[in-house]
Amino acid sequence: MNSNKKVDLKPGEISEDKKYDLRPMNLEKFIGQNNLKSNLKTYIESSKKRNNNLDHIVLYGPPGLGKTTLAHIISNEKNVNIHSTSGPAFTKKGDLVTLLTNLAHGDILFIDEIHRLSPIVEETLYPAMEDYKCDYIIGTGPSARVMQISIENFTLIGATTRLGLLSRPLRDRFGIPLQLNFYEPNDLMKIILLGAEKLKTKIAEKPAYQIAVRSRGTPRIAIRLLKRIIDFSVVQNLDEISIEIVEESLKKMRIDSEGLDDMDRKYLKCISEDYNGGPVGIETLSAALLEQKDIIEDVIEPYLMQKGLVQRTSRGRILSKKGFNHIQTSD
């Protein structure tokens, strides 16, 4: 398969490029998402007692909340291998058929960005998910014939930031839909404290909390900010991260009190100043900001909408009163 990268990890094993990863390896150490975690634990324990595979799972939510981490945790909890790939990696039907026929009994197939599968590749998944069979066309033209291949029972875990882009037939085949939400500051603080410990850095709860409230409810961003603040503290020969170095570092990185960066503020100002607060369509915003539509919808907007700074309507994006106020106070 061309660029279709397949990672085969045995339970509990970490690949070489993840040796220093800060990700948890089991549900007990996974912080936050308590309701999801409780339900998932029940599903895993039930499948173990019945000696069955888990139903197919779709994990959905904004980027950086732990979808990939959870997929690997599930493989560890089930004590099975995981094969990781992504939707865009499949350029033709044969790519998926090759991967499916190489799965062992009970394996997990993890497809990130599953909403980006092409229709013809997606249709190949339907019989594989339901009957553990896939159809393969041999030959071309009038002499072509369809050969049905049996595959081992497996669990598909799909991850997406855009559940609405999944076709209804594919979405309905997932028995376990799990939504990941933005994290509360206290949970992010725990993640930061644990990350600092693994990175051999001293930090107390108060400065860790200050990083947490500026992390857009996202663990990936929290750890990224922590690493950059460590850089500032190392250069200044500090033994411990203090509130002062946190504030100084975030100011230099232009992260404001709500966790917004330059692109977020540029987005808000574009709606406010160029389009009188809206409504303005996504295509227009994309052209005005010189930014891809997917980046705006998947990365920039979810947190701004969750914070009530902008609203999405049938006519386009509208800046809220809170959004106007934020622009004025952040100038």
So which residues are the catalytic ones? 67-68, 112, 161, 220
Label the pairing between strands 176-179 and 57-60. parallel
Rounded to whole angstroms, how far apart are CA atoms 144 and 137?
Answer: 7
Nearest of 108, 120, 234 to residue 170 by alpha carbon = 120
